[in-house]
Structure 1
Amino acid sequence: MNKTQKIGNYRFRILGLLMFATTINYFDRSIIGVLYPTLQKLFGWTNSDYAGIIIWFQIAYAIGMLAMGGIIDRLGTKKGYTLAIGTWSFFGVLHAFVQPGFSILGFSIARFGLGIGESGNFPAAQKTVAEWFPKKDRAYATGLYNAATSIGAIAAPFVIGWIVNEDGKNWQIPFLITGALSAIWVFLWFRFYKKPEVHPSLSKQELLYIQSDSVVENEDKLPWTMVFFKRETWAFAIAKMTDAVWWFYLFWGAKYLSVTFNVDVKSIGVPFFVIYAMADGGSIFGGYLSGLFIRKGWSINKARKITLLICALIILPVAIVAITQNKWLAVFLIGLGAAGHQAWSANIFTLASDVFPKKAVASVTGIGGMSGAVAGIISSFLLGKALDSAGNTGFFWAFLVAGSCYLIILGLVHLLMPKMTPLDENLKYIEN
């Protein structure tokens, strides 16, 4: 505590803004999943119709991730983040103006624009963490802002349950709320954010602490192709394929609880609170654990990968969710899987800044996000078809994959990046 007081803590104000932005991001993203059982009745959608709407979001997210990372690296964090949140806010509000006569087309267009904008959040946030935190603290900082995904996901069902009637009346209002929140964030971001090297409110001691385990980089831009073809980029991209599992919880969780345990829009709040509160705990714990291992003298490679192995083992029990007959046991197991995923995610995000120079972090994060979005597109398409053709047995296979894929993916990451040798500002390996 004394150390924190001596060096200053302005970096945590910046971290708070990342948490606020990520909360808005996931509140906006979660609304349609919570409302799906209600909107399905209101507009007469099939599961495949809904899967198609979600897939348009995921296609845009994949395209946006591939593009936005590079855009943010070129524009800089301040302008790039503002562009992202402005875009997703506009299209988030647009959902509220979709008319019943063209609901599938209207929601597909709105979701596509939302996906483009929201794809910028994590590249921008992770680039900010790389700029404002030393390597030994990045997983913990990432865990904190990543935990805000759950805050948004928790808030959505309670706000929706409070505002929206069971017959669907007022379904538009939650989409409008995000516009007001985003305007507040943009004001605060422009008021408080500058790079640490030029920030007038940052003490010299805190700047030295931030730069304590990294080197000052030149301002030369890296060609995107240099980043794209690095083996370490694709190790990160494979690890991010697990995003499909998180999106399964987010977009299909309310539907599973509705058809299996008759949970409606007015009663979804408490189950989602349990699931995403556990996810929050997992995110913070996962970031803290690998940082603890590093402080004990472990190498970054060992600390990150042992933490990822622990996460994968914690997630395994979610594979049996679909055969449980007890609602709260199912909620607990999904929460356990969500907690393990968020702990995994906090460390996966940090891999990019552990290995790559700061000026490449957003691009690498974007490529990884694209990989996760493609995995989500495939899984949403297959699940929608399975639910329409085979009924709720489709959930059995979805949960089985959700529980078992992390161990396999960790093995592939280790094969591609066995030592996690860091790269310099020209993407050359740094010799120890």
Structure 2
Amino acid sequence: MVPSPTARTTSAHAPGAGIGDKIRGTLATGKTRWGMLALVFFATTLNFIDRAALGVMQPILAKEMSWTAMDYANINFWFQVGYAIGFVLQGRLIDRVGVKRVFFCAVLLWSLATGAHGLATSAVGFMICRFILGITEAANYPACVKTTRLWFPASERAVASGIFNAGTNVGAMFTPMMLPLVLHVWGWQAAFLCMAALGGIWLIFWGLKYYNPEEHPTVTKAELDYIQQEKEPEQTTVSFGTILKMRGTWAFALSYAMTAPVFWFYLYWLPPFLNQQYNLGISVTQMGIPLIIIYITADFGSVGGGILSSVLIKRGMAAVKARLVSMLLCAISIIGVVMAAGSSELWVAVGAIALALGAHQAWTANVWSMVMDYTPKHMMGTVFGFGGMCAAIGGMFMTQFVGYVLTVTNNNYTLLFTMIPAMYFIALVWMYFMAPRKIPQV
């Protein structure tokens, strides 16, 4: 008897199937979900072009408006304040109203806020613009994670998370390539207007192309069955207080709050660090090439970290255990970043930072996937939004701490780079003991 297409697909995902069979079986289920992933990947890219631009333009803006290191720290601090508020509000809205409408409105508003930077004439003006940008850009990750949770099964979530999160590095890498030309031809005000226009283009594609799995006009039954293969608790309205009582909420929130601010440190302070330590400018050949190398490595880490835990799951390891093993390897890889601050050689520092940032992105893909593994999909936006709020608060303190340390030590980065690895090991121990091993029936 010839097996049916459904039977062939199921057998291709069985633990004993070969890698080729698994790949063919995965492709046979359809590809609509990868199109949805592409949309959130490009949103994340735009999100980080907007954020990274300030760090790259910092030398010009500081000279133009006589910013001190503390002024720059305060500008970033107010972004984090808005980000913290926006995370918890928009995560809840995404669960209640739906990812399509909330994310559309958020990107529209953050594009307008980005363009408004071109009108600012002082540090205070930038603080106001960054605060509004923070509130609106906070929708990005809850929306991306919710989309991934809706469209991907556990065996593909880490890869999907790694791919959309690679947009952070693409955005941070593209920014030093794009900005020097725009700055030279039109000036810094036009740079913010160009970034706002990119957001408008993305909005057209999101409005026309995004649907939830059950509503998508072209998704096949085979792909829908593949996506929804896990047993889910019945969707009910759950109060915010109930979600705060869940062990998994705090497992994710505190571990994410410990490690997410490290990326903010790289994003905001890496260009000033390289410029100060090695007398680089903001041209593509001087500042651009080191940043491009660092963020390309981060892209490989983001996707590679997701592949690692996905391979472990397909070999029979439980999802949460696979994430923890992958995160341990990431934490070990980050230790070498302590070499960066004390090195007199630019490329030694670039290599150490590139490895650490790549491992950070691999870590992030797995910690996001872990919270998806044990969180019911109808609570995903709220749980992630709360964790993101905690991370943004951590980023607020990190920004002020960095500004204070650099002020009192005359811009010495040694203490900051030395602290980074410890944060991951503390967060890993917390996740090991606190993370649930399955979806609770809530």
- Alignment TM class, shorter chain as reference: over 0.9
Residue 207 (structure 1) aligned to one of 224, 240, 251: 224
Q: Which amino acid aligns with 2:274?
A: L
The reply on whether 1:107 has 2:101 as its aligned counterpart is no
**Distance of 2:131 and 2:104 partners within structure 1:** 19
Whether 1:184 and 2:201 are equivalent positions in the alignment is yes
Q: What amino acid sits opposite 1:107 in the alignment?
A: F
Residue equivalent to 1:355? 374
Q: Does structure 1 conserve the Cα–Cα contact (< 8 Å) formed by 2:319 and 2:370? A: no
* Matching of residues 366-385 of structure 1 within 5 Å: 366-385=385-404
User: Separation in 2 of the partners of 1:45 and 1:5?
Assistant: 53
How many residues are matched?
Answer: 417
Query: Which residue identity lines up with residue 128 of structure 2 in the other structure?
Result: I
Q: Specify the alignment match of 2:7 in structure 1.
A: none
Q: In structure 2, what is the Cα distance between the partners aligned to 1:376 and 1:265?
A: 25
Q: Which amino acid aligns with 2:245?
A: F
1:231 to 237, 247, 266: 247
The whole-number CA distance in structure 2 between the counterparts of 1:38 and 1:381 is 22
Taking every aligned residue pair, what percent have the same amino acid on both sides? 37
Task: Name which of 255, 274, 288 aligns with 2:272.
Answer: 255
Correspondences of 1:112-123 after superposition (within 5 Å): 112-123=131-142
Q: Is 2:57 aligned against 1:46?
A: no
The match for 1:56 among 42, 54, 78 is 78
Of residues 235, 238, 248 in structure 2, which corresponds to 1:222? 238
CA contact (8 A) 2:173 2:296 kept: yes
* Aligned position for 2:181: 162
Structure-2 change in CA distance of 1:183 and 1:214 (3 Å): farther
Q: Does 1:150 align with 2:150?
A: no
Q: Distance in 2 between matches of 1:148 and 1:251?
A: 17
Report the alpha carbon displacement of residue 259 of structure 1 after superposing the two structures with TM.
0.7
CA distance in 2, matches of 1:376, 1:284: 24
CA contact (8 A) 1:274 1:335 kept: yes
The 3 A distance-change label for structure 1 pair 10 and 412 is same
Matched, 1:406 2:424: yes
Q: Please give the residue correspondences for 1:1-400 in structure 2 after superposition, counting only pairs within 5 Å.
A: 1-99=23-121, 103-165=122-184, 170-215=187-232, 217-218=234-235, 220-241=236-257, 242-266=259-283, 267-393=286-412, 395-400=413-418
The C-alpha deviation readout for 1:46-79, integer Å capped at 9, x for no partner, is 1001100000000111111121110111110101
Give the whole-Å Cα distance in 2 for the aligned partners of 1:203 and 1:217: 23
What TM-score, normalized by structure 2, do the two folds share? 0.92
Residues 227-248 of structure 1 show CA distances to partners (whole Å, capped at 9, x for unaligned) of 1221211110112121110000
Which stretch shows the higher mean deviation, 148-157 or 4-13?
4-13
> 2 CA distance for matches of 1:381 and 1:71?
30
Instruction: Assess, with a 3 A threshold, how the Cα gap between structure 1 residues 384 and 169 changes in structure 2: closer, same or farther.
Output: farther
Kept in 1, the 8 Å contact 2:94–2:381? The answer is yes
Per-residue deviation, residues 105-148 of structure 1 (Å, max 9, x unmatched): 11001000100011100001100111101111111101000011
TM-superposed deviation, 1:314: 0.7
Give 1:156 deviation, angstroms. Answer: 0.6
For residues 3 and 112 of structure 1, the distance between their equivalents in structure 2, rounded to whole angstroms, comes to 46
Amino acid at match of 1:274: I
Report the Cα offset of residue 415 of structure 1. Answer: 2.1
Any unmatched runs of 5+ in structure 1? Answer: 427-432
Q: What is the distance in 2 between the residues matched to 1:170 and 1:420?
A: 52
2:170–2:299: 8 Å Cα contact kept in structure 1? yes
Match of 1:429 in 2: none
Q: Does 1:420 align with 2:437?
A: yes
Distance 2:97 2:204 in 1: 18
* 1:430 counterpart residue number: none
- Per mean C-alpha deviation after superposition, the further-off stretch among 168-177 and 312-321 is 168-177
- CA deviation profile, 1:78-113 (whole Å, cap 9, x unmatched): 0111122112111111101112xxx11110010001
1:3-44 deviation per Cα after TM superposition (whole angstroms, max 9, x unaligned)? 244321011000000111000000011110111122111111
Code of the aligned partner of 1:188: F
CA distance in 2, matches of 1:4, 1:169: 48
- Displacement of 1:293 in angstroms is 0.2
Question: Deviation at 1:420?
Answer: 2.2
Contact 1:28 1:178 in 2 (8 A): yes
Matched-pair contact (CA < 8 Å) for 1:134–1:214: no
* Contact 1:238 1:409 (8 Å CA) reproduced: yes
- Mapped partners of 2:234, 2:118: distance in 1: 45
Q: One-letter code of the match for 2:329?
A: I
Check conservation: 1:161, 1:269, Cα contact below 8 A: no
CA distance in 2, matches of 1:376, 1:391: 22
SS at match of 1:222: coil
Cα deviations by residue, 1:340-376 (Å, 9 ceiling, x for unpaired)? 1100000111122111100111111111111111111
Cα distance in 2 for residues equivalent to 1:405 and 1:385: 19
Cα-to-partner distance string for 1:241-286 (whole Å, 9 max, x where unaligned): 2111000000000010011001111121111101110100000000
The answer to whether the 8 A contact 2:298-2:355 is kept is: yes
Residues of 1 paired with 2:233 and 2:207: CA distance? 24
8 A contact 1:37–1:254 mirrored in 2:
no
